[in-house]
Chains A and B, each alone.
Chain A
Amino acid sequence: MVVVGGGVTGAGVARDLSLRGLSVLLLEKGDWGAGTSGSSSWMIHGGLRYLEYDWDTTRLSNVDSGRIVTIARNFVSRVLFIVPVLPHDLNNIERVETALEVYDGYQPLKHSHPHRRLTPEEALRAEPGLSPDIVGAMTMEEWGVDPHRLTFANVQDAIGHGARALNHTRVTELVRDGRRVIGVRYRTPDGATTEARARAVVNATGPWSSQIGAMAGVPIELRPAKGIHIVYAHRISNFSISAESIDGRDLLMVAHAGFTLLGTTDDDFYGDLDSVDVLEDEVDYLLQAFERVFPRIRDYRPVRTTAGVRPTLFKWRPNEDRLSRRHELIDHAAQGADGLFTIAGGKLSMYRLMAEETSDAVCRRLGHQARSTTATRPLPGNESDPAPVAEITARCEIPALAVIKLQSRQGTNVEKVLDEGGTSRLLCRCEPVTEAELVYATRHEQVRTLADAFRRVGVAAGPCAGAACILRAAEVVGKELGWSATQRFDAAREFVRGAWLGRAPVLGHAGWAQEELAQGSLRPLLRTNGAR
């Protein structure tokens, strides 16, 4: 089998097929989870808002979220929302509570608690930063997850069961034999072109699906929608908070482990999928909405933005926010491309189900009888509870905070990571990340660039955005990969330039102070290349 696309769905398909005993090649043109998956709100959620459109989507989403929470138990954390209601909101407080009462019926499916109704006084005691104008608030529970780690855990398990998985490897052509698709040609990072034959090719490239479809001469109609998030390098509140935008959309401020995501927009996208820019207007649209429920939001310093494109299924007329988040599996045999399957649409919370349905279809076509086991089999690092923090701190002589963060990325594999890395030195102190983890990730987790390191271990994800650690990170990765001094320098410069693009739309006030620091500390890199 060849699976094209290393987002969470493609990785899930590769894992599912490998566990069924099939031979799998997984190809990703960038890095694992670097596209739509990584630009999400980092949540496994049940889809409260789908109750307005289709209760079955909510049910399915909760069922599969529950399974993901179980198989990735060391990677997830509870996210508790306060849903404040203001006097002129689209939905009054009774309507909001009605929806949450219905949603409570599904919450046990994903091991979540039912909602609570708070008076304005209670809500303000819980979060004094809320607007004093609120008429009440509800709570709602969801799950947070790092989509990069979730994606890579699927890749890791696929590899553990015999799959080959190559990142930074682009499919250039589909190989055909008459009406059949019998393989792919792909270009590896060193520029070599290779061919792989397969009995089935799965197109799991999300918004890029149409491009792969075009290689086989089959149309795949999507309605790609752009979504951006503002990232704060700390928690603004221990509670996540919802807000209504000027055009009546539901927006979320999500409190994750050590940072906050604020989003998201939802706009039809017609541009280059490989270059999605964030506009200052989009940032203002989000801040305007949150200023209404959390008046001091503009006092906080964002550190960057993220932008991604959803692979929404095509439908004419509804505005973007009202488009279905359902998924669709397309068997292209009837279109003259036998052996090619496309999985399109959907969302992070249902990735496992999408992967299972895709794998079922492939296996049916091949007459392969094995059934999916991904609903119950834990992902690597999630087989048991992690060791107590104090125990690892004492043994490995690293700060407890570093252990906590490491466990959130590696689960039960923490000691293996620290043992192999051979050093307890902290590399990125903001996160914090040890050098050992970066060494391990470079050797065993396919880190090939510093952006890969950012995704895999969180290096440079904190308040200094890499000013204090990116050169050292280039040294560590470069040593493992055999980079020359120039290559290390170039890698750091490439990272800094990429980070600037995500940071520029949110600079202001303290952001410029941080930028001065970053530019000053990395001046040799920037001067050499003339970036900025």
Chain B
Amino acid sequence: MARADSLVKLAWAYGIHLARRTVRRPRAQLDALLETYAPDGIRPLDAATRERHPRLVSCINCGLCALAAGRAGRTRLPDLASSYMRLYSRLADASGDLAGDDPDLVAASAVCPVGLPLDEVAAAVRRMATR
């Protein structure tokens, strides 16, 4: 009975929806959506990050990059990829951890066993932390 009742009500709602669609012009909603969720840190990845994303999150935290190149800001180098590259929505609150000069990221990438481009990771994390 509950099932039949639910389907009848949905059918009624569907009719109303279709009638509304015929008289109301659709409008762009993405900007309003992003504004609504900005306080929660929910926003699109930028195009550069999205394109390379699967590579940027492939760190296995072996630590070889730290041996090759040292620290990034106040944090150790592998943390950039294994930790900071994960929490996009709150990175702005953690931007202070990353303040300081970058180490030799090219040297660090050269020793990475999974070929992680650490210079790109550092750039992506800093972009997300400052947005």
Q: Please list the residues of chain A having a beta carbon within 8 angstroms of any beta carbon in chain B.
A: 51-56, 77-78, 80, 94-95, 97-99, 101-102, 113, 116-119, 122, 125-129, 139, 233-239, 257-259, 296, 299-301, 389-390, 393, 399-401, 404-405, 429-432, 462-464, 467-468, 510, 513-514, 517
Mark out the residues of chain B between 4 and 39 whose CB falls within 8 Å of any chain A CB in the assembled complex.
5-7, 9-10, 13-14, 17-18, 21, 26, 28-30, 32-34, 36-37
Q: Please list the residues of chain B having a beta carbon within 8 angstroms of any beta carbon in chain A.
A: 2-3, 5-7, 9-10, 13-14, 17-18, 21, 26, 28-30, 32-34, 36-37, 40-45, 47, 50-51, 53-54, 57-63, 74-76, 78-79, 82-90, 93-97, 113-114
- Asked whether, in the complex, the Cβ of A94 is within 8 Å of the Cβ of B17, the reply is yes
Partner of B83, one of A239, A299, A300, A462: A462
In Å, the complex CA distance between A52 and B14 comes to 13
Q: CB-CB < 8 A to A389: which residues of B?
A: 93-94
- Asked whether, in the complex, the Cβ of A238 is within 8 Å of the Cβ of B89, the reply is yes
A-B contact pairs, 18 of them (CB 8 A): A52-B3, A52-B6, A52-B7, A98-B10, A118-B33, A119-B26, A127-B44, A234-B57, A235-B86, A238-B44, A299-B54, A401-B90, A404-B87, A429-B82, A462-B61, A462-B82, A462-B83, A514-B60
- Asked whether, in the complex, the Cβ of B54 is within 8 Å of the Cβ of A101, the reply is no
- Asked whether, in the complex, the Cβ of A468 is within 8 Å of the Cβ of B10, the reply is no
Partner of B14, one of A95, A119, A126, A129: A95
A393/B96 contact (C-beta < 8 A), A101-B17, A128-B50 known? yes
Among residues of B, the one whose C-beta sits closest to the C-beta of A300 is B54
In Å, the complex CA distance between A238 and B85 comes to 12
A125/B30 contact (C-beta < 8 A), A238-B43, A468-B63 known? yes
- Asked whether, in the complex, the Cβ of A301 is within 8 Å of the Cβ of B58, the reply is yes
Partner of B94, one of A78, A94, A404, A429: A404
- Asked whether, in the complex, the Cβ of B94 is within 8 Å of the Cβ of A118, the reply is no
In Å, the complex CA distance between A94 and B74 comes to 51
The interface residues of chain B, by DSSP majority, are classed as helix
A399/B58 contact (C-beta < 8 A), A118-B29, A234-B86 known? no
Partner of A510, one of B2, B3, B58, B82: B58
- Asked whether, in the complex, the Cβ of A53 is within 8 Å of the Cβ of B2, the reply is yes
- Asked whether, in the complex, the Cβ of B76 is within 8 Å of the Cβ of A116, the reply is no
Among residues of A, the one whose C-beta sits closest to the C-beta of B33 is A116
Among residues of B, the one whose C-beta sits closest to the C-beta of A511 is B60
Among residues of B, the one whose C-beta sits closest to the C-beta of A393 is B96
Q: CB-CB < 8 A to A119: which residues of B?
A: 26, 28
Using A78-B42, A301-B58, A463-B60 as known contacts, list a sample of 12 further A-B pairs with CB atoms less than 8 Å apart, ordered by residue number in A. A55-B2, A55-B9, A139-B33, A238-B41, A239-B44, A258-B86, A399-B94, A430-B61, A464-B62, A468-B61, A510-B60, A510-B114
| Nearest chain B CB to A328 CB, angstrom units | 15
| Nearest chain A CB to B82 CB, angstrom units | 5
| Nearest chain B CB to A415 CB, angstrom units | 17
Q: CB-CB < 8 A to B59: which residues of A?
A: 463
Partner of B90, one of A259, A300, A404, A514: A404
In Å, the complex CA distance between A401 and B60 comes to 19
In Å, the complex CA distance between A47 and B43 comes to 25
- Asked whether, in the complex, the Cβ of A404 is within 8 Å of the Cβ of B93, the reply is yes
In Å, the complex CA distance between A259 and B85 comes to 11
In Å, the complex CA distance between A477 and B103 comes to 35
Q: CB-CB < 8 A to A95: which residues of B?
A: 14
Partner of B37, one of A80, A94, A129: A80
Q: CB-CB < 8 A to B37: which residues of A?
A: 78, 80
A94/B61 contact (C-beta < 8 A), A122-B28, A234-B85, A296-B54 known? no
- Asked whether, in the complex, the Cβ of A401 is within 8 Å of the Cβ of B42, the reply is no
- Asked whether, in the complex, the Cβ of A116 is within 8 Å of the Cβ of B29, the reply is yes
A257/B30 contact (C-beta < 8 A), A463-B82, A514-B60 known? no
Partner of B17, one of A97, A237, A399: A97
In Å, the complex CA distance between A213 and B97 comes to 54
- Asked whether, in the complex, the Cβ of A102 is within 8 Å of the Cβ of B13, the reply is yes
Partner of A390, one of B5, B58, B84, B96: B96
Closest 5 CB pairs of A and B: A464-B61, A299-B54, A258-B86, A122-B30, A514-B60
- Asked whether, in the complex, the Cβ of A399 is within 8 Å of the Cβ of B45, the reply is no
| Nearest chain B CB to A277 CB, angstrom units | 25
Q: CB-CB < 8 A to A77: which residues of B?
A: 40, 89
Q: CB-CB < 8 A to B83: which residues of A?
A: 401, 429-432, 462
- Asked whether, in the complex, the Cβ of B97 is within 8 Å of the Cβ of A300, the reply is no
In Å, the complex CA distance between A237 and B46 comes to 11
Among residues of B, the one whose C-beta sits closest to the C-beta of A122 is B30
- Asked whether, in the complex, the Cβ of A78 is within 8 Å of the Cβ of B40, the reply is yes
Partner of A399, one of B14, B21, B75: B75
- Asked whether, in the complex, the Cβ of A94 is within 8 Å of the Cβ of B88, the reply is no
Q: CB-CB < 8 A to A517: which residues of B?
A: 60-62, 113
- Asked whether, in the complex, the Cβ of B79 is within 8 Å of the Cβ of A429, the reply is yes
Among residues of B, the one whose C-beta sits closest to the C-beta of A141 is B37
In Å, the complex CA distance between A237 and B86 comes to 10
| Nearest chain A CB to B53 CB, angstrom units | 8
- Asked whether, in the complex, the Cβ of B42 is within 8 Å of the Cβ of A300, the reply is no
| Nearest chain A CB to B44 CB, angstrom units | 5
A401/B32 contact (C-beta < 8 A), A80-B37, A127-B44, A513-B60 known? no
| Nearest chain A CB to B126 CB, angstrom units | 14
In Å, the complex CA distance between A113 and B10 comes to 21
In Å, the complex CA distance between A78 and B33 comes to 13
Q: CB-CB < 8 A to B87: which residues of A?
A: 235, 257-258, 401, 404-405
Q: CB-CB < 8 A to A122: which residues of B?
A: 28-30
A98/B113 contact (C-beta < 8 A), A53-B6, A517-B62 known? no
In Å, the complex CA distance between A467 and B94 comes to 25
Among residues of A, the one whose C-beta sits closest to the C-beta of B113 is A513
In Å, the complex CA distance between A78 and B41 comes to 10
Q: CB-CB < 8 A to A80: which residues of B?
A: 37, 40, 42
- Asked whether, in the complex, the Cβ of A118 is within 8 Å of the Cβ of B14, the reply is no
Among residues of A, the one whose C-beta sits closest to the C-beta of B87 is A258
Among residues of A, the one whose C-beta sits closest to the C-beta of B97 is A399
